[in-house]
Amino acid sequence: MKKNILFLILLIHLSFSAFSQDIHFSQFNMSPLTLNPALAGANHEIQAIINYKDQWRGVSTPYKTLGASIDSRYNPKNHENSSFVGGINFFQDRAGDAKMGISQINLTLGYHHRVAKFQTLGLALQGGYAQRSLVYNDLQWSNQYDQSSGYDPNLPSGETNLRSSFTYIDIGGGLLWNINDKSGLHHVEDNHDFQAKIGVGVYHFKQKYSFYEVSPEQLYTRYVLHGDALISVPNFHNLAILPGLVFFTQGPAKELFLGTMFRYKLSQASKYTGIKKDAAVYLGAYCRAKDAIIISFMLEYFSYTLGISYDYNLSKLTQASTARGGIELSLRYTKFKYKKPTLRTEKE
């Protein structure tokens, strides 16, 4: 009996979370377009990423999330202080026994303008097409419980006007302030990288949303405030610190996510010959307040980055989850055009 009550509480919690919060990845820096549309083209000429998350395998049917994105920027001729950016991303999520899921594709368009040395201000809009779905056959309803015989799946659920799926148009946008001194002006062996981003993302502008045909409800708007940095430590050759913070709010649901990673460069690319390639390892931890600790590892070589993280559940659900949250994998490809250093003084 105790086990059944515990599982019921878990089911209610997970169902509420799935309805009230969007999908999001623990490796937030590896899923830019679900964090802030203005991150498109922020640091790379081209960036392509694949994400996969598997969670709650220890307590129910696993929740699986798959995502993919590509973004890039274009600098028109004679407009070196500005760039047009764009991106496309797709994600699919399936949750629990009822296979409650979402499939969505988004198109992002934006503009970044150089406002000071190494600094840009970016604005982007995102439009998407989404489908929500739910399989009712595996759900149990209170009307299907009889006092004498218990649960009877043949009894009517009493629920009417339910639909198994529906589609909608989704609109979002974002603003980003970006600092990046990695512009090719440093010497090859210098360890003076400094990058920082602060941004705001907004998703679901006045979106109707419901599995009930006759009573559509408002999908809560999701607001995201985020900031992160990469700070090289000159006195410790090849070492850098990467602090990060993300705050989500969507209706009654709120989430604070903060922590840091450490990067150690195994080798630094040659900007002149192209023979020597960048290589680095990253290790760190993040805390999702009142929910989980995330241990993250990344391996970077040239244009490719592999990310692996694991969520250790620390919330009240630990009685059922035994601290097992979920594993997350990501793979990124980037292309960046380095500018050769010149002897002349740049006009700002």
Three-state SS sequence of 279-305: EEEEEEEEEECCCEEEEEEEEEECCEE
Q: What is the pLDDT of residue 97?
A: 67
Residue 89 confidence (pLDDT):
97
134 in a structural domain: yes
Query: Any idea which residue has 């990467």 for tokens?
Result: 242
Domain count, the chain: 1
**Per-residue DSSP letter, 321:** H
Q: DSSP states of 109-154 as a string?
A: EEEEEEEETTEEEEEEEEEEEEEEE---TT---GGGEETTTEE-TT
| pLDDT attached to residue 41 | 93
* pLDDT at site 61: 66
Q: Per-residue confidence of the chain (348 residues) as pLDDT tens digits?
A: 444 444 444 444 444 344 445 777 899 999 999 999 999 999 889 999 999 998 766 556 678 899 999 999 988 777 778 899 999 999 998 876 667 788 999 999 999 999 998 899 999 999 999 988 877 776 777 777 777 777 777 777 766 667 778 888 999 999 999 998 875 444 444 567 889 999 999 999 877 777 766 666 778 899 999 999 999 987 777 899 999 999 999 988 899 999 999 999 888 765 554 556 789 999 999 998 888 899 999 999 989 999 999 988 776 655 555 556 689 999 999 986 555 444 444 444
Residue 347 lies in a domain: no
Which residue is associated with the tokens 């949250």? 325
Is there a domain that residue 348 lies in? no
CA end-to-end span of the chain, whole Å?
71
The pLDDT score that the predictor gives to residue 274 is: 54
Is the residue at 200 inside a domain? Answer: yes
As a whole number of Å, the CA-based R_g of the chain is 23
Give the distance from CA 310 to its chain's centroid.
15
Residue 346 counted as domain residue: no
- Which CATH number belongs to the domain containing residue 68 in this structure? 2.40.160.40
Question: Using an 8 Å Cβ cutoff, are 250 and 221 in contact?
Answer: yes
What range defines the domain where residue 295 resides? Answer: 2-335
pTM of the model: 0.81
Q: Is residue 343 part of a domain?
A: no
Write out the H or E segment, with its range, that includes residue 17: helix 2-20
Residues 6+ apart with CB under 8 A from 148: none
Residue 341 counted as domain residue: no
- Encoding tokens for residue 4? 């059944």
pLDDT, tens only, 81-102: 889 999 999 999 887 666 778 8
Residue 60 is predicted with a pLDDT of 61
DSSP per-residue string spanning 160-193: -SB-SEEEEEEEEEEEEEEEE--SS-S-TT----
Q: What's the confidence (pLDDT) of residue 337? A: 58
CB 82 within 8 A of CB 112: yes
